[in-house]
A and B are shown apart, each in its own frame.
Chain A
Amino acid sequence: MFKVILHTQWKWSRLLIAASLVAAFALPILTVQGFGIADPTVWEARSILRAAESRSVWYAVLAAGIGLLLATSVWSADHRGDHVYALSLPVARWRFVVLRFAAGGLLLLVPVVAFWAGALLASAALSLPYGLHAYPTALALRFALATVVAYAVFFAISSGTTRAAGVVLAIVGGLVVVQVLLHGADVDIDFLQDLFGRAVSWPGPFGVFAGRWALIGV
């Protein structure tokens, strides 16, 4: 059954996978453009390091984007068919969900491997200043983890009903409104920033997206 699900998911999302492959391969190469300075000074080397760190935000953005798009494509056919196909199968809901998740997760390997190849190529093409090193494999592992986390988050949201998604959105929107009202009333409570901080720092769900994960380091 896994092979069938994998095959159908491949058919539904192959264009998306192809686009992800191109983007994931190109991004590491694009982010090291301009780093090949011959015989740089210490300050130039430092600016390369800073630029590498600041550009690394695009890796997180791409990982989140790929996770989002693939997770939504995995469930789109079920939503369109009112889940009749899934209900007709002689499997429990949890098993079907795991199969769907695993099939999508396997397809994620395509952009992840492309990213790794791009990072390796970018590293090989660079002549880095003394003291700086490239970490393509470690970066690719981080990218893979971030992609899987993003995929899991949006997979959970997409698997629910429109009402469930609406409830999630309403809660987030409600929190923002309350924060704005508190700010307007000069109440010095910034719980939204606190919540966001907890979400993007360890062990929050989005901790994998935060921090420095540049291709180049000391």
Chain B
Amino acid sequence: MSNSPAGANSVTLARRGGTALQRIASCVLVGLCTLGSLGHGQAPTVADYRLRVTQLSHIWEAARAAEGSVRGLTGPLDTIQLGSLAVVAVAARRAVVAAAVQGAWDRLDSALGSDTDLLAGKTFYTRLAATHVAISDSGVNRVFMDAPGVEQLRWNLLRSVMGALLQELDEDTRAWFGGVLPIEGVLEPPGRSAYIELVLARSPGASECLRGDLALCRAVLGFADGGIRPDSAFAVSATVRHHFARVALEQGRERAYARLLRSADVSLEQRLAAAAGLSADSLLEVWHATLIQAQPELTLVTRPIVVSGFAWVLVFLLLSSRSSRWRLG
């Protein structure tokens, strides 16, 4: 999250644009010097000159294209406000950003409900294009243009918002969440990933947790009496912890995020239990049951697949025997 005013952002963008333009100018200068250096040492042939001129014209074309993109970033800024979500964008890109903001807001509104007021006073900034010209001895290698679409922007925006909300919490909690709060479509692993993670984890606690030892589940999730284990002591990655938090938030429904973020005086385990509206032990039980339900089934050969497969074989065999080829007349 950034709290700098729009004007400051404009200055930043202008500086970025200026830096890129300077880089391009330097590249052209280097190219001209290279052309000039042909006069020293071994006498260049006409073919050498032609080659260099071709290379320089490619550099020039790439530089012109890059200049256009950089100038596009330095235009006036515009603020798009939807509910309590405020996003600043380059005015020329307003349409794309507005579509992404709408998508992000719809998702936030449905996930956070009235807790969207947690976003009040926070402003998000978007940067829609970055241009980089890579130059080697043989001339321009590539021109990279990063112009994300609406869906990618929406995803990044959601991630930024959930990361900004997490900034309200202490450092240990932020580490526990892996830097971002879970929300559907943003680092929200399905239960299957969490289950696989626990199966593959070499920690004996992980396998015992899967078998139903909730005390070990608590340890695997990184909860310790009165707080969180240090980051290095996590037995599994944030995938499993995100799944746990997601289950808690789903159980809690309305104002679950607010209860999670605003009850800072208790441990994270208690805070998640408060978000879920359950006791800590009950939440562990619910999470474990959800995890077991998400167990990936071995779907190679199941009765429905076998039955439908042979049924279709019979259908096609019947169709084969009804061919008109042998009919007379």
Contact = CB atoms under 8 A, between A and B. Distances in A.
B50 interface: no
Contact of B325 (A83, A141, A142): A83
Interface in B308-329: 308-313, 315-317, 319-321, 323-326
Nearest to A215: B300
B47 interface: no
Nearest to A45: B200
Nearest to B236: A42
Contact of B306 (A42, A145, A161): A145
A27 interface: no
A129 B311 CA distance: 38
Given A42-B201, A135-B298, A217-B296, A208 B196 contact: no
Contacts of A141: 300-301
A146 B298 CA distance: 17
Interface stretch (A7-15, A176-184, A187-195, A199-207): A199-207
Contacts, number: 110
A25 to B, nearest CB: 19
14 contacts: A93-B323, A130-B200, A145-B301, A145-B305, A152-B312, A153-B312, A156-B317, A156-B320, A160-B323, A208-B308, A208-B309, A212-B299, A213-B300, A218-B200
A149 interface: yes
Interface in A68-112: 83, 86-87, 93-94, 97-98, 101
A49 interface: yes
B178 to A, nearest CB: 14
B202 interface: yes
Interface string A134-178: 010011011001101100110110011100100000000000000
A208 B317 CA distance: 17
A101 B318 CA distance: 11
Interface residues of A, number: 45
A197 interface: no
Instruction: Report whether over half of chain B's contact residues are helix, strand or loop; otherwise say mixed.
Output: helix
Interface residues of B, number: 33
A218 B299 CA distance: 12
B309 A42 contact: no
B121 interface: no
B41 interface: no
Contact of A152 (B199, B299, B316): B316
A116 to B, nearest CB: 13
B304 A101 contact: no
Nearest to B192: A218
Nearest to A143: B300
A146 B299 CA distance: 14
Contacts of A97: 317, 320-321, 323
A149 B312 CA distance: 7
A46 interface: yes
A148 B313 contact: yes
A158 to B, nearest CB: 8
B167 interface: no
A32 to B, nearest CB: 16
Contacts of B320: 97, 101, 155-156, 159-160
A135 B296 CA distance: 14
Contacts of A42: 197, 200-202, 236-237
A36 interface: no
Given A145-B306, A155-B320, A218 B199 contact: yes
A211 B300 CA distance: 9
Given A46-B196, A98-B321, A218-B195, 20 more contacts: A42-B197, A42-B201, A93-B323, A97-B321, A101-B317, A130-B200, A130-B202, A132-B200, A135-B298, A145-B305, A145-B309, A152-B312, A152-B313, A153-B312, A153-B316, A155-B317, A203-B311, A204-B308, A207-B308, A213-B299
